Amino acid sequence: MMKLDLGCGLKKQEGHVGVDSLALPGVDVVCDLRVSPWPWPDNSVDRVFSAHFVEHLTSAERITFFNEVWRVLKPNAEAEIITPDWSHASAYGDPTHQWPPMSHWYLVYLNKQWREKNTPHVPYTCDFETRYSYSLDESLRDQATDVKRFAVEHYTNSARDLQAILIKRG
């Protein structure tokens, strides 16, 4: 199985091919993921993982990234993308993060049918089914479920990371 960890840095996922723009320890493929095409053929990858990378891309580079993830994934294969949630200070704390910060709303743009109805001018070519969840700030870990849910919906610094699962359609 071909599994890629995109933008892995020093923390490559076990069993994955580590991909980064820098030749760091653990990086198997040095590749600039901001430009296409990537070096993998269409429909050749079984899984993609990317943690704390996408938020470093500009808006145009994010479109390239998601289009290329879709191109290289096999049909029905999954990509797991983790970014800081827009509502947490960690999204703004790193000066190398690009604007805008990531919210769960980006996921609707990855759906071809939604784009055709709402934003046909956006240059995405991908088509994903998506779902998402959050990791919580440490201050909420011991709270009741209803308290956690309310905090995520109404307060900043509650949802720390946004974890998205993208499933390739087509």
Residues 6+ apart with CB under 8 A from 36: 64, 67, 68, 71
Quote the pTM value: 0.96
- At residue 104, the pLDDT reads 97
Length of the chain: 170
Instruction: Name the percent of the chain lying above pLDDT 70.
Output: 100
Beta bridge partners of 3: 47
Q: Kindly tell me the number of DSSP H helices and DSSP E strands found in the chain.
A: 4, 7
Sheet of strand 17-20, all strands in order from the earlier edge strand to the far edge = 29-30, 17-20, 3-6, 45-51, 73-84, 159-168, 128-136
Mean pLDDT of the chain: 97
pLDDT tens readout for residues 82-102: 999 999 999 999 999 999 999
Mark residue 49 as left, alpha or beta (left: phi above 0; alpha: psi -120 to 50; beta: remaining): beta
- At residue 170, the pLDDT reads 82
pLDDT tens readout for residues 106-158: 999 999 999 999 998 899 999 999 999 999 999 999 999 999 999 999 999 99
pLDDT tens readout for residues 33-68: 999 999 999 999 999 999 999 999 999 999 999 999
- At residue 120, the pLDDT reads 87
pLDDT band at 160 (very low <50, low <70, confident <90, very high): very high
- Report whether 64 contacts 123 (CB < 8 A): no
- Report whether 5 contacts 69 (CB < 8 A): no
Instruction: Name the percent of the chain lying above pLDDT 90.
Output: 97
Q: Within 10 Å of residue 133's Cβ, how many Cβ atoms?
A: 11
